[in-house]
Amino acid sequence: MPRQRSAGRHGADGVLNVALIGQRFMGRAHSNAWGQAGRFFDLPLRAGLHTVAGRDAAALPEFARRWGWQRWTARWQDIARDGEVGLVDIATPNHLHADQGLAMLAAGKHVACEKPLAATLDEARTLRDAARAAARRGARTFVWFNYRRCPALGLAWQLVREGRLGAIRHVRARYLQSWGGPATPLSWRFKKALAGSGAHGDLNAHIVDLARFLTGDEIEVVHGAAARTFVAERRIEAAGAGARGRRAARTGRSDVDDCLLFLAGFRSGAVASFEASRAATGHLNDHGIEVSGTEGALRFDFEDMNVLQLHEGGEGRARRTAGWRRITCTAPAHPWIAAWWPEAHGLGYEHGFVNMAADILGALGGRRPVVPLPDFADAYETQRVLEAALLAVKHRCAVKLSEVR
């Protein structure tokens, strides 16, 4: 593979060299984000797509060509030793996050990691502590809670900060999907040793982060939780067309939750409900959150992602005209929209990743992001809540966050 000349790792000539570990679903989403950020946003740093690493060595050259990566390697450890790389983006299965993140932080690189931060709370704590030490040497960390970068949710964050909802009383959050039925084959997402948990870590992670992000409050107790594994055995996909018959009929155990629901309480006294499922028939990507306060409420549904619904008016307002107002979040005044299309031309799933990549590059270039960027310490707090819910399921009791360390 020819080695192409690259700009310096720390932003020489306005370029920050980025390396990506992962070449599947998230690898594509992140590659698109780094490639598009500088095309739409006026940034102090531009991402140089330096190296992509992945386990499928045969597919890497085509992946690199399609997405614009200059180099490729089947050994992610090569990236830690490469002095030209300034930021490493980890988009691999959960059980790999700790080893890869620790190696990149030790090498002095900025790190952006997919959520959840790790497969276990112990690994997440180790990453948090390593990030603290690395920060003293100038390295920064980020976690891809990309739904924070939906313009409607960015607006929601602003409205809560302006006091438009008053004191928060209720949070209701759900993330429901239906792709995990009996016909879905076994993958790393259904193995506890690789994923840590099932729908809980995959989906509840997003809505717990959103609840903390929007309210600015922390959960102090999980009151109770319930989890179910509906499909305990899943077929193992044959390696190829010639592997039919005996190999095609093999099955393996799924030992993670297909759904997990829990109730929680915030420090402020607000209450919350969270529901995550991969087995909710009729729900494709039903990701929603509602926040209610003494003076108003807001709600968001990702399947209508360009819209935020707002209800203003506490008990003192006239009930005769009170009601929900639909805000189409596509005006230049809405977060991130000015970088994109003319008003009323909506954004989609991939734009949350691009908006986040732009905010990361902006932050590393000295700019304040539109809304807070989650780092390893922030993501660790979300993982503590996830762990408390797992403990509540296991012990069938309430779990205080002060007991989860």
DSSP 75-116: -THHHHT-TT--EEEE-S-GGGHHHHHHHHHHTT-EEEEPSS
CA dist list (Å): 154 to 146, 334, 336, 346, 378 = 11, 8, 9, 15, 17
Q: Which of 109, 143, 177 is the last residue of a domain?
A: 143
Same domain membership, residue 177 and residue 58: no
62: CB partners within 8 A, 6+ apart = none
* Per-residue buried b or exposed e for 151-179, using 16+ beta carbons within 10 Å of the residue's own CB: bbbbbbbebbeeebbeebbebbbbbbbbe
Give residue 10's pLDDT: 60
- Of 198-207, 223-232, 305-314, 362-371, the range with the lowest mean pLDDT is 305-314
Residue 184 belongs to some domain of the structure: yes
153: CB partners within 8 A, 6+ apart = 147, 210, 214, 300, 308
**113's torsion region: left (phi>0), alpha (psi -120 to 50) or beta?**
beta
Same domain membership, residue 224 and residue 124: no
Evaluate whether 260 touches 204 at the Cβ level (below 8 Å): yes
Same domain membership, residue 185 and residue 98: no
Residue 228 has a CB neighbour count (10 Å cut-off) of 15
Give residue 245's pLDDT: 46
- Which one-letter amino acid corresponds to residue 65? R
- Of 125-134, 236-245, 247-256, the range with the lowest mean pLDDT is 236-245
Residue 333 belongs to some domain of the structure: no
Instruction: Collapse the DSSP code of 354 into the 3-class scheme (helix H, G, I; strand E, B; otherwise coil) and give the result.
Output: helix
Residue 178 pLDDT grade (very low, low, confident, very high; cuts 50, 70, 90) = very high
Give residue 285's pLDDT: 96
pTM over 0.85: yes
65: CB partners within 8 A, 6+ apart = none
Q: Which of 143, 175, 203 is the last residue of a domain?
A: 143
Same domain membership, residue 255 and residue 109: no
Cα(329)–Cα(81) distance, integer angstroms: 43
Same domain membership, residue 380 and residue 238: yes
Tokens of 160: 């809560």
Percent of the chain surpassing pLDDT 70: 93
Same domain membership, residue 99 and residue 212: no
Q: Which of 143, 175, 204 is the last residue of a domain?
A: 143
Tokens of 1: 């593979």
Higher per-residue confidence, 108 vs 249: 108
Edge-to-edge, what's the strand order for the sheet holding 399-400?
A: 324-328, 307-312, 296-301, 286-293, 168-176, 271-277, 259-266, 219-228, 399-400
Residue 197 belongs to some domain of the structure: yes
Give the pLDDT confidence of 349-366 residue by residue, as tens digits.
999 999 999 999 999 999
Evaluate whether 176 touches 146 at the Cβ level (below 8 Å): no
CA dist list (Å): 327 to 209, 299, 306, 307, 314 = 23, 11, 8, 6, 19
Classify the C-alpha dihedral 281-186-54-92 as positive or negative.
positive
CATH of the domain at 177: 3.30.360.10
pLDDT exceeds 50 at position 53: yes
Mean model confidence pLDDT for the chain = 93
Give the pLDDT confidence of 74-97 residue by residue, as tens digits.
999 999 999 999 999 999 999 999
Average pLDDT over residues 216-244: 86
End-to-end CA distance of the chain: 46
Average pLDDT over residues 359-380: 97
Among the listed residues 50, 148, 141, the one whose alpha carbon sits nearest the alpha carbon of residue 356: 148
Residue 41 belongs to some domain of the structure: yes
Classify the C-alpha dihedral 327-333-336-342 as positive or negative.
positive
Residue 317 pLDDT grade (very low, low, confident, very high; cuts 50, 70, 90) = low
Q: Is 313 exposed, middle or buried (0-12, 13-18, 19+ CB in 10 A)?
A: middle
Give residue 321's pLDDT: 75
Same domain membership, residue 126 and residue 39: yes
Residue 299 belongs to some domain of the structure: no
Edge-to-edge, what's the strand order for the sheet holding 15-21?
A: 71-73, 46-53, 15-21, 87-90, 110-113, 141-143
Give the pLDDT confidence of 292-310 residue by residue, as tens digits.
999 999 999 999 999 999 9
Instruction: Collapse the DSSP code of 327 into the 3-class scheme (helix H, G, I; strand E, B; otherwise coil) and give the result.
Output: strand
CATH of the domain at 25: 3.40.50.720
Instruction: Give the domain extent around 234.
Output: 167-294+376-395
Residue 187 belongs to some domain of the structure: yes
Number of domains in the chain: 2
Residue 359 belongs to some domain of the structure: no
Residue 161 belongs to some domain of the structure: no
Tokens of 19: 């390396």
Give residue 313's pLDDT: 79
pLDDT exceeds 50 at position 243: no
Residue with tokens 């639909």: 326
Same domain membership, residue 197 and residue 123: no
Same domain membership, residue 175 and residue 128: no
Same domain membership, residue 139 and residue 171: no
Same domain membership, residue 209 and residue 133: no
pLDDT exceeds 50 at position 1: no
Same domain membership, residue 133 and residue 18: yes
Residue 318 pLDDT grade (very low, low, confident, very high; cuts 50, 70, 90) = low
Helix pair angle (25-40, 60-67), 10° resolution: 20
Average pLDDT over residues 38-55: 97
Give residue 191's pLDDT: 94
Percent of the chain surpassing pLDDT 90: 91
Output the CA angle 394-399-401, nearest 5 degrees: 125
Residue 12 has a CB neighbour count (10 Å cut-off) of 14
